[in-house]
Each structure stands twice: as C-alpha cells, then as structure tokens.
Chains A and B, each alone.
Chain A
Amino acid sequence: MNVPEGLRYSTDHEWVQIDGEVAKIGITDYAQDALGDVVYIDLPATGVTVVSGASFGEVESTKSVSDLFAPISGEITAVNDELADQPERLNTDPYGDGWICTIAMSNPDEIDALLDADGYQTLIDG
C-alpha cells in the first residue's frame, strides 16, 4: 500500500495535506483498496463547518457504504466536484485527482493528534 511521506493520517484512513491554515483531505490507498470500486460519493458543501471525528459525508462502493469522518475541524473551502461523476478517481488516484475537499482549520493543534507516514504504516500493518 502506498503511504506517501509528508502527509498526516487519521485512524479513519484519511490523509491530510497541510498548507498553512488549510488542510486538503482524501482517503488513503489502504482505504480505497478496502472499499473496493467506489461508485458514489456524498460530498459536503463549501461553507459547511466540520468537526474532527464527526461524519461529513459518505462513500459507497459496489459492496458497502462508509462514512467519511473529518480528520480535522474547520470550514470547508473547496470540494472536488469532479468526484460526483467520476468517483472512481478515489480508487485510481487517492492522493491526487481523488482529493475530496479542503478545510480552513479552526484548531490547527489537532494536527498533532494525526499520525505521520510511519505511524500510519504501522497502523495498517497491524
């Protein structure tokens, strides 16, 4: 499984890319592999406030429905609308074209609670 360095990871199998006060998020390679072929994503709307650990959307594969849990708190500033018609991008490029949204962080200290690549690798190897 691909676990890129330089990203932070939640135990709910989402990745977070920090750029100043903004966090870009998506699901990990491990998550997309476990989900199987993704056929639908219920995306959040921009302007919505999300809370770390709370559900802010759903992703559906041919075999199951899974909640998306916000890895960090804040306001959604951009959403990857391409996913509505091409949810398979979550499978084919989870760290690139399959990004889900960006969040203006309300509490950047939450970053410290996220895993680094080594920590996440250990989690999924467990």
Chain B
Amino acid sequence: MQNTDSPPPETRRSPLHDTHVKLGAKMVPFGGWDMPLNYSEGTLAEHAMCRSSAVVFDVSHLGTMRVTGPGAFDALQRAFTNDLDRIEPGRAQYTHLLDPDDASVLDDIIVWWVDSDRFDVMPNASNTSRVGEALGGGASAPEIHDVTSTRAVLAVQGPQARSRLAEVAPEAAAVRRFRVAEVKIDDVPVVVAGTGYTGEDGVEIAVPVDAAEKIWNLVTSAGISPAGLGARDTLRLEAGLPLHGHELGPGITSLQAGLGWVVRFDKPEFRGRDALLAEQARGPHRLLRGLVVDGRRPPREGQTVLLGGEAIGEISSGNFSPILGQGVALAFLRPDVDDGDSVTIDVRGTEVAAVVTKPPFHT
C-alpha cells in the first residue's frame, strides 16, 4: 500500500480544529483524534436541533482511502461483504470488512463510488490501515492512497438539512439519498454523498483542507448549527445504528448485529464468507436488540440484562433518549427473546425495568 502522506502524529487534529475552539467547543480524544464533544449549547440541545431542523458535524476523523485503477472494483468485491454489482458509479454503499477466520466485523464502511475506477472508502477513525491491508496484495492490486489528511468531511443532517443547505450550496443539497456526486460549492470542488449517521435525512461533504473553514462557515451561515460527537452518539443510538467497538468488532459478526442485509452470500467470494456461512447454518448464539427503560435512567455498556432473574445478555451501548425522555440501549441478547418481552437491567446493583423494543427508538 502506498501512503502519500506523512505519518500521523500522536493525536490528529481536524482541519477545522481552530474553528471548533473559536466556537467554544469542548474537545475530547476520539479514535486518535482531538474532536468536538459539544459546543456551548450542549449535547441535548444539539440533539434536538438535529431532530427538528439541521446541524453540521465535523466527521473528518473518519478515514478516506482512495482506491483507484482497473483492479479497484474486484479488490473491493473480494474484501467486503456487500455487492457492488447492485449499485453503480455515483452511488454509495454500506458494507462490512470481516475477519477471514471468525467473521468478526473488523470495520463497517461506507463506499462512495465516485467514478468508474475511483472509490472513496470511508472506514472508522482507527481502522484506516486495516482496510488498506485488506485491499492490497495480488497481481492486479489497485492503487490505494490514504487521503484522510487532504480533506475535511462535514455531515449536514436533519429534516431541514437540504432546504437550508440549498440556500448556500444548491448542487450539494440536491444529492439524493445514497447518491454520490462531484460538485462545486463557491468554486471549490467537493464530493457529496447522501449519507449520514443520525437517522435523519442529509448529506456528507468532503472538502479540500484549505477550503474547510470557508465551507463550514458557509454552511453555518445558512442556519445550520454545529453539533459534536456527544449528540452524534445519542442520535445514532436513538436511530439504532451500530457503533464499531460496541455493536461491531472482535467476536461480533454481521448476523449477530442484525445486519445480515449487508452480506451478499450470493457473491462467490469475500473475506470471512466461509466462517459467516457456518454461523448462519448453526444460528447466531446472540442477537442485537433494542431496550427501552421504564424511566430516565441510562443503561450503560457492559450491564447485564435479565429475564425472570436469569442473565440473557449484555448492553453494548446505552444512554438517555431525548426524544422519548427515557433510557434506551442496544444489547446482545439470547436469540429466543421477543420484542415486547419485559426484562430488567442490572444497573450497578439496582434492577431497572425495560422492554425489548425494535429500534429506531425516535420514530
């Protein structure tokens, strides 16, 4: 694999770092990056803005691996679980990278198929090199460049994301769900995808580093307010979306996470296919489910879930749902548990009642 950029320092900074600090953001370490947790209004206000109007997140910490050349398509098809034959250039696809031996989800990834021989592959912050390794090798290996440090990525999300963005960047605002397009914003070339991680409509925009602040300011000038990683996490949890390291990761397969639709077994080959087929045949020993708490108390990762006094699983993510005004969680539970079952959660010695509920929780 070629790496065109200098090696990353200990903690990486977004091209928008100074902009966040000027806005009064509380900065926290996340996946090796120093990123905004929240701005002055706080996580709950930012969450509410995303559900009711529109917000912008800096998600530059997600990696971008640019995979190009005639071997690019085949390399991605062999590495990832989803099937690129189901889409075409100008589209985005959610997919998984599996461990070849036990089918653990090493990363969950969005592929932006920008142009016939160009794919921008977006892994999680800490997984960029792992994805590069999976795609490399072989006689017809594609060119792979880690272009993470050349761009910033802005996620504009919310029911008014498109209408507000259209005031300042109409071409970007017009990119539909799971479409990808190269457009210009104020003469700056950007790549836009109709993707996101909040359960709301919106777009994600990759912009060159030297124009990042200008475009951020343009977006916020349209009444789209900044939101940090705190709101990003409560939003994705409320939407029932998985977070790597919690609902996906070592020992967790796509089938256990309820994401079998990401896996196309009709493809002849992909990493981890045999191991995942074996699990499908015997049936996963646990499944990811949603829980809604009776009351405000947030469940937390690692807490035990009980049914009739018997442990049936463990919380993978939990927090407070601002929309419900109740605690919510995702949990890996015994596969025989049904939606509507009443369970309890052992919250540091206190049994808290909850109901098994199919996410998303906010709609």
Interface residues of A (CB under 8 A from B): 36-37, 39-40, 42, 58, 60, 62-63, 65, 87-88, 91
Contacts between chains A and B (CB distance < 8 A), count: 43
Per DSSP, chain B at the interface is mixed
Are B296 and A87 in touch, CB under 8 angstroms?
Answer: yes
Chain B residues positioned under 8 Å from A87 (CB to CB): 296
| Shortest Cβ gap from A121 to chain B (Å) | 21
Are A63 and B43 in touch, CB under 8 angstroms?
Answer: yes
Are B230 and A39 in touch, CB under 8 angstroms?
Answer: no
- Convert B319-340 into 0s and 1s, putting 1 for each residue whose CB lies closer than 8 angstroms to a CB of A: 1100000010000000000000
| Shortest Cβ gap from B230 to chain A (Å) | 6
Are A91 and B42 in touch, CB under 8 angstroms?
Answer: yes
Q: Name the one of A42, A65, A88 contacting B300, with C-beta atoms under 8 angstroms.
A: A65
Kindly report which residue of chain A lies nearest to residue B41, judged by CB atoms. A37
Are A62 and B296 in touch, CB under 8 angstroms?
Answer: no
* B124 within 8 A of partner (CB): no
Complex CA distance for A5 and B302, rounded to whole angstroms: 42
Q: B37, B44, B233 — which one has the most chain A CB atoms within 10 A of its CB?
A: B44
Q: B300, B320, B327 — which one has the most chain A CB atoms within 10 A of its CB?
A: B320
Kindly report which residue of chain B lies nearest to residue A88, judged by CB atoms. B44
| Shortest Cβ gap from A3 to chain B (Å) | 20
Interface residues of B (CB under 8 A from A): 26, 37-38, 42-44, 230, 233-234, 296-298, 300, 319-320, 327, 348, 350
Assuming the contacts A62-B234, A62-B319, A62-B320, asked whether A40 and B297 have C-beta atoms less than 8 A apart, the reply is yes
Q: Name the one of B43, B327, B348 contacting A36, with C-beta atoms under 8 angstroms.
A: B43
Complex CA distance for A85 and B37, rounded to whole angstroms: 25
Complex CA distance for A60 and B320, rounded to whole angstroms: 9
| Shortest Cβ gap from A94 to chain B (Å) | 14
Chain B residues positioned under 8 Å from A63 (CB to CB): 37, 43, 230
Are A37 and B296 in touch, CB under 8 angstroms?
Answer: no
Q: Name the one of A60, A88, A91 contacting B298, with C-beta atoms under 8 angstroms.
A: A60
Assuming the contacts A36-B38, A40-B320, asked whether A62 and B297 have C-beta atoms less than 8 A apart, the reply is no
8 contacts between A and B (CB under 8 A): A36-B26, A39-B298, A39-B319, A40-B297, A40-B298, A62-B44, A62-B234, A63-B43
Chain A residues positioned under 8 Å from B319 (CB to CB): 39, 62
